[in-house]
């Protein structure tokens, strides 16, 4: 959520941000509501006038005079106060709802653009692998190896679900453990195993609600299945005041992720790319504002370290204003080369949110100099999306014999150097 002072004092900054993001929001209605709210705060002056008149009534009666006129004025003021308080409450409620729909303001370093075609490649690592045979996509490799079963998943749950089995299930588990071990032992993150359900307040805190409710799965009891571990991790310090000396705080969590993919019609539906349930290891940081840029670079590098250890070619993109997520102020996407699909595939999105999420979660820190508590800055990123990493390994490590070479970094977890087809 944006600071109300920015809406009030720098409305042109918000107008430009909305234009750069290509967001169609009635911001002028927000400006009018904020102006009216400020006017209605004048009710405090009426309360003060009423209190003064009440004192005069007491003094007049004590002196033996008539207070009828004063009482009449107090009654009129009370009616005015009641009407203003009612309108103030309604105005505040509508303003709050509209403010929840306003996206974050992009940082100056973010490229201006309308969509993914305007994203900027800022780094590449390793060259895409070449093959002396036609590489297959993972949705053909997996079933042939007996480690992916899309038909069984569809019978159990429906379309856009995946079932791994045998060496496939072990590969997913190995990837999760490898990622968690790397981020905790080498990168200094504290592991968290959070609930996989979250309440409405938590999802408002991350910006998933109210704008993106259609993308979520909701239970009869009113809980939501988490779309990512970002939700519980961001709310880990909801309503708290942290000490500056305890920042930055680094957290990592594995969770299954559940998404309805409400807006995915016509997009890639084969394989493990766009499914309703998948596994992910998420990185999360709480930092002070002055350290945010540097910490985002480190977080992104931590995610890249997994790909480098697995020797999977990737590139880093700076997302443009028109392609960033709702709450993000700056985002770097990591994409891996998929030789079977013949395209780059996003495998991680690393974003900083300035104080956008912290305001929603009311997470602050107390400066070491004893100053007034301030909002922390938050950031997160996939470290990595497990299913897509699984798919990238199948496509990048396939052999002409139909086997999969297990990356060296995973062999201690897998217990084998190769995944082979099942015996006839």
pLDDT tens-digit series, residues 328-352: 999 999 999 999 999 999 999 999 9
pLDDT in tens, 85-116: 999 999 999 999 999 999 999 999 999 999 99
Residue with the bigger pLDDT between 60 and 35: it is 35
Selection from 315, 392, 303 nearest residue 351 by Cα = 303
What is the rounded average pLDDT of the residues 176-196?
A: 98
Q: Tell me, what's the pLDDT at 261?
A: 83
CB atoms under 10 Å from CB of 3, counted, come to 16
Residue 189 clears pLDDT 90, i.e. is over it = yes
Residue 376 clears pLDDT 80, i.e. is over it = yes
Q: Tell me, what's the pLDDT at 234?
A: 98
Q: Tell me, what's the pLDDT at 265?
A: 54
Residue 369 clears pLDDT 90, i.e. is over it = no
User: Residue 241 is inside which H or E element, if any?
Assistant: strand 241-243
Q: Tell me, what's the pLDDT at 266?
A: 54
Which DSSP symbol is given to 41?
Answer: T
Residue 246 clears pLDDT 90, i.e. is over it = yes
For residues 406 and 416, the answer to whether their CB atoms sit within 8 Å is: yes
Q: Tell me, what's the pLDDT at 370?
A: 85
pLDDT in tens, 60-89: 888 888 888 888 988 999 999 999 999 999
What is the rounded average pLDDT of the residues 398-421?
A: 97
What is the rounded average pLDDT of the residues 302-313?
A: 98
Alpha-carbon gap, residue 172 to 272, rounded angstroms: 12
Q: What percent of the chain has pLDDT over 90?
A: 88
Residue 141 clears pLDDT 80, i.e. is over it = yes
Architecture of domain 116-419: 2-Layer Sandwich (3.30)
What is the rounded average pLDDT of the residues 395-407?
A: 97
Mean predicted lDDT score pLDDT of the chain: 95
Q: Tell me, what's the pLDDT at 29?
A: 97
Q: Tell me, what's the pLDDT at 345?
A: 97
Q: Using DSSP, state whether 119 is helix, strand or coil.
A: coil
Residue 267 clears pLDDT 60, i.e. is over it = no
Strands of 364-366's sheet in order across: 241-243, 364-366, 374-375
Q: Tell me, what's the pLDDT at 43?
A: 87
Q: What percent of the chain has pLDDT over 70?
A: 98
Task: Show me where the domains of the chain are located.
Answer: 4-99, 116-419
Confidence band, pLDDT 50/70/90 cuts, at residue 363: very high
Confidence band, pLDDT 50/70/90 cuts, at residue 264: low
Q: Tell me, what's the pLDDT at 145?
A: 97
**Neighbouring-strand partners of residue 218:** 224
Tell me the catalytic residues: 259, 274, 346, 349, 388
Confidence band, pLDDT 50/70/90 cuts, at residue 259: very high
Q: Looking at the domain that runs over 4-99, which CATH code has it been given?
A: 1.10.287.40
Q: Tell me, what's the pLDDT at 310?
A: 98
Q: Tell me, what's the pLDDT at 163?
A: 97
Q: Tell me, what's the pLDDT at 71?
A: 86
Tokens 């009449």 correspond to: 72
């Amino acid at each position: 959520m944006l600071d109300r002072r920015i809406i009030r004092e720098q409305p042109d900054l918000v107008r430009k941000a909305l234009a750069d993001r290509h967001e169609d929001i009635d911001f002028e209605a927000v400006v009018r509501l904020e102006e009216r709210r400020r006017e209605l705060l004048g009710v405090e002056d009426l309360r003060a006038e009423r209190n003064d008149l009440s004192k005069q009534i007491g003094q007049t009666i004590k002196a033996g005079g008539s207070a009828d006129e004063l009482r009449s004025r107090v009654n009129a003021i009370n009616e005015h106060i009641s009407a203003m308080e009612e309108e103030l409450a309604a105005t505040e409620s509508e303003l709050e709802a509209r403010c929840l729909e306003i996206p974050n303001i992009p940082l100056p370093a973010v490229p201006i653009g309308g969509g993914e075609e305007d994203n900027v490649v800022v780094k590449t690592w390793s060259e895409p692998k070449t093959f002396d045979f036609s590489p297959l996509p993972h949705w053909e490799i997996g079933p042939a190896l007996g480690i992916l079963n899309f038909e069984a998943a569809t019978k159990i749950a429906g379309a856009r679900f995946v079932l791994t089995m045998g060496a496939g299930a072990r590969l997913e588990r190995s990837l999760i453990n490898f990622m968690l071990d790397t981020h905790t032992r080498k990168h200094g993150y504290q592991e968290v195993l959070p609930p996989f359900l979250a309440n409405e307040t938590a999802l408002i805190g991350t910006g998933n609600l109210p704008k993106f409710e259609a993308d979520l799965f909701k239970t009869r009891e009113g809980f939501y299945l988490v779309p990512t571990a970002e939700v519980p991790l961001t709310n880990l310090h909801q309503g708290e005041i942290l000490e500056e000396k305890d920042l930055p705080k680094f957290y990592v969590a594995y969770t299954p992720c559940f998404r309805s993919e409400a807006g995915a019609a016509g997009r890639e539906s084969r394989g493990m790319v766009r499914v309703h349930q998948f596994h992910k290891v998420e990185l999360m940081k709480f930092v002070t504002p002055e350290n945010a840029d540097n910490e985002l670079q480190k977080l992104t590098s931590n995610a890249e370290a997994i790909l480098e250890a697995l020797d999977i070619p990737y590139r880093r993109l700076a997302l443009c204003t028109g392609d960033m997520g709702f709450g993000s102020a700056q985002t770097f996407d990591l994409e891996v080369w998929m030789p079977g699909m013949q395209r780059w595939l996003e495998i991680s999105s690393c974003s900083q949110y300035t104080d956008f999420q912290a305001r929603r979660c009311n997470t602050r820190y107390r400066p070491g100099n004893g100053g007034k508590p301030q909002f922390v800055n938050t950031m997160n990123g996939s470290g990595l999306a497990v299913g897509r990493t699984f798919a990238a390994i199948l496509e990048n490590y396939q052999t002409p014999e139909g086997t999969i070479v297990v990356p060296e970094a995973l062999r201690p977890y897998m217990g084998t150097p190769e995944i082979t087809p099942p015996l006839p």
